[in-house]
Amino acid sequence: MRVALFITCLADQFLPHAGEGVVKVLQRLGVELTFNPAQTCCGQPAFNTGYRDEARSVATRVLDLFDDADYIVSPSGSCTSMVRVFYPELFAGDPKRLRQVEQLRTRFFEFSEFLVNVLKIEDVGASFPHRVTYHDSCHLLRELGVGEAPRKLLRKVRGLELIELGDHQLCCGFGGTFSVKFPEVSVPMGQDKVRAASQTGAEYLVAADGGCLMHLSGLIHREGSPLKTLHLAEVLAQQEKQ
Amino acid sequence: MSDTGVHSNDIHAGATQTLGDARLVEAYRASTTRLLEHRAEAIAEVPGFERLRDRAREVKRETIEHLDYYIAQFADNVTRNGGRVYWASTAEEACDTVVNIACRAGVREVVKAKSMLGEEIDLNQALEAAGIRPIETDLGEFIIQLAGDRPAHIVAPAIHMTRKDVSELFVARLGAEPTVVPEELTAIARRALRENFQKAGMGVSGANFAVADTGTLVLVENEGNIRMCTTVPRLHVALVGIEKLVPRLADLGVFLRLLGRSGTGQTLTTYTSFLTGPRRPGEDGPEELHVVMVDNGRTAALADAKMREMLYCIRCGACLNTCPVYRKIGGHAYGWAYSGPIGALVTPTLLGIRQARELPFASSLCGACREVCPVRINIPDLLLHLRGQAQTQAPVKAASLLSERHLFGLWAWAMRHPRLYTLGSRMARWGQFLLARRGWIRKIPMYPASQWTLGRDFPALAPKAFRDRWKQLRRE
């Protein structure tokens, strides 16, 4: 089984530990992972902002780069939904590319659903003795329909206490370029989420998307709240100290 | 005269205004939460609710795909029932039609049922300009009219006002005694309204559904005022958007079960009126029925194979209640009759993207709206489509040397060239030491990052990108 990592530009530049988490967990499970350094971005920022030609020019590269892997795994529900849900729309006018998209979509998975739904593994042998609350990123939850997989994985982590967030299905307000086009709305939405997370009494706010994490951690840091954020893969990579 | 444009196209100003008023923010939060809770309870008791939604969508799809056929059938049946049908292609034509009917009959006062189409075409302003007094009879609309305001929600027009606000308004405008008891407030409004039904020569309503195979207008409400408006005055004028068609009377079994539950969490609204033609001998009801079919941009939406889906909407308001953006910024910020996610689709589609190019961007694309839509309109997908239209058909003039389009052009160029991407990120790493303190940046002076740091800190680029750690990771 050849599994290729699509790191995503955000995780590559801002959250490399999330990528390392994916590498560690898959290594532990005996899955061989490849990384093609020619990859950059899935094109979503441009697509999300209405620049479809620009988005297409970037997305085309993703179609070509991952032609030969059995599976492609990404630590982002949002970038995965870009490929699986929005590429068909982006390439609707190009039958040749659309065939490539159809080929790619069936092999492209977000990290937690890959573990739970493809590898059928819930216990990855992690240990993290802390109180954790999980934030559903909207694209993962609603575009890909993945809400249970991350929770299943977290429940099997030794010592971890999973506390559900109030209004867990509510958007945190990141929304891609929405965060900079409507900061006056994006920020109070995020503040609500941080407040809800703090009220759970959790030490860590965990999510499976770099965008939400950058937004939420930026708010937390500005507020000076003791809450810490982690990517799901970082939690799953933790093991008991030897 | 009627103004076909938006009231305001600065959603940012509207949003800031709402967010700056804690009482307003709380009013929206409390009311939308209550409506959502009621919805959740109401749909839980219907087995097969999801299949009902599928069926409703399918009926709407079929209707919109063959709208020409159903409109003609509906018009024929209205005529056969003794009503008269008018066609209005613009808001202005629709207003003129209503004003002319009123003038011909010598009507000076018009009682109005709640109608979003009436709001859309600014009928009140047109009537007033012709010396005719429009009297809103829906409690929410009555409050709004008294306050000189605009509806803040498509189902609950006065959702942004608290009981205390309403009490103060009634004291100031009606000389009422102060009270915050809803029943007493309603009684005050009822007393002020009652005599108007008797003296008005004409009632104007909208329609929730227009049934093609019988020519029936279907109206849902909770206060009985619509039934009064459509039966007591001598004339009844119904404004019907051409997308309101359903093919068969039997289809209402699907739609009525969805509408009340999705909108207000009611099994059925208190009143559901089926109006088929004017009064017949020996019955009561209006002597004349005039049905004004309004296009006002709808056929243009129909011509767009993608945006056509927007016409499936049955105006239940569930997407507003669940939208985290609407719940923060409120209805007025959207600048026109329709607000929330559906407003962000309807306004740019009916008026043209140039009139409302920012609206499709006022969404985090979280998809909560699609989850509650009774006819499963893929709202985020349509918003994305409109964003594309906005950038190609209504580009923003660059405020600085580098426009957003230029920035994305540069971005795409770098993303197509991994070496450039790597070089760029290394330069940024080198450059950020001026700004970053312990991994965080408090203020970035450059657009668009400056927008980010208005309310949040920005994480500095990691000391080493993942790609630069990959080789070492493999060795470990």
Task: Per-residue pLDDT tens, chain B, 476 aa: give them.
Answer: 334 467 777 999 999 999 999 999 999 999 999 999 999 999 999 999 999 999 999 999 999 999 999 999 999 999 999 999 999 999 999 999 999 999 999 999 999 999 999 999 999 999 999 999 999 999 999 999 999 999 999 999 999 999 999 999 999 999 999 999 999 999 999 999 988 998 999 999 999 999 999 999 999 999 999 999 999 999 999 999 999 999 999 999 999 999 999 999 999 999 999 999 999 998 889 999 999 999 999 999 999 999 999 999 999 999 999 999 999 999 999 999 999 999 999 999 999 999 999 999 999 999 999 999 999 999 999 999 999 999 999 998 877 777 899 999 999 999 999 999 999 999 999 989 889 999 999 999 888 899 999 999 999 999 999 999 998 988 77
**Which of A42, A181, A184 to substitute to test the interface with B, most B CBs within 10 Å?**
A184
- Give φ, ψ of B440 to 5 degrees: -130, 145
- Closest residue of B to A168, CA-based? B368
CATH topology of domain B3-299: Rossmann fold (3.40.50)
Chain B neighbors of A39, CB-CB under 8 A? 418
Contact between B328 and A142 using a beta-carbon 8 Å cutoff:
no
> Does the CB of B19 have a partner CB in chain A at under 8 Å?
yes
**Interface contact B404, partner A, CB < 8 A:** yes
pLDDT at B475: 79
Cβ(A91)–Cβ(A56) under 8 Å?
A: yes
Which residue in B has a C-alpha nearest to residue A12's C-alpha? B466
- By Cβ distance, the residue of A171, A176, A219 closest to B368 is A171
Cβ contacts of A61 on chain B, cutoff 8 Å: 415-416
Instruction: Supply the pLDDT for residue B5.
Output: 61
Average pLDDT, chain A: 97
CB nearest A138 (choices: B366, B414, B457): B366
Which chain B residue's Cα is nearest to A173?
B364
Contacts of B361 in chain A (CB under 8 A): 49-50, 177-178, 181-182
Helix (H, G, I), strand (E, B) or coil at A156: coil
Q: Could you tell me which residues come within 8 angstroms of residue B230 by beta carbon, excluding any fewer than 6 positions away?
A: B113, B203, B205, B219, B236, B238, B273, B275, B285, B286
Give φ, ψ of A195 to 5 degrees: -60, -45
Query: What's the whole-number mean pLDDT along residues A6-21?
Result: 97
| Res. A169: pLDDT tops 90 | yes
Backbone angles phi, psi at B330, to 5 degrees: 75, 175
Q: How many other C-beta atoms lie within 10 A of the C-beta of residue A214?
A: 21
Q: Using the beta-carbon criterion (under 8 Å), do A16 and B16 form an inter-chain contact?
A: no
Q: What would the mean pLDDT of A38-67 be, rounded to a whole number? A: 96
pLDDT score for A201: 98
Q: What angle do CA A27, A31, A32 make, to 5 degrees?
A: 90
Please name the member of A16, A46, A143 whose beta carbon is closest to the beta carbon of B465: A16
* CA nearest to B424 within chain A: A13
Chain A within 8 Å of B9 (Cβ-Cβ)? Answer: no
Q: Which two tokens stand for residue B350?
A: 């009916």
Nearest CB to B19; choose among A37, A50, A184: A184
Check residue A242 and give its pLDDT. 60
Across the interface, do B457 and A52 touch by the CB < 8 Å criterion?
no
User: B467 vs A37: CB contact, 8 Å cut-off?
Assistant: yes
Contacting residues of A for B452, CB less than 8 Å apart: 179-180, 183, 218
Length of chain B, please?
A: 476
Which part of chain B is CATH 3.40.50.10420? 3-299
Q: What percent of chain A has pLDDT over 90?
A: 98
Interface residue B430 vs chain A (CB under 8 A): no
Under an 8 A CB cutoff, do B364 and A54 touch? no
Check whether A231 has a pLDDT greater than 90.
Answer: yes
> Amino acid identity, residue B345?
L
Of B454, B456, B461, the CB nearest to A13: B461
Picking from B199, B200, B203, the residue whose alpha carbon sits closest to that of residue B289 is: B203
Could you tell me which chain B residue has the CA closest to the CA of A13?
Answer: B465
Contact B33/A at CB under 8 A: no
| Residue B262 to chain A, least CA–CA distance (Å) | 18
Q: Give every strand in the sheet of B458-459, ordered side by side.
A: B436-437, B440-441, B458-459
pTM of the model: 0.96
For this complex, say whether ipTM is above 0.90.
Answer: yes
Q: Say yes or no: B457 contacts chain A, CB-CB below 8 A.
A: yes
How close A55 gets to chain B, by Cα (Å)? 7
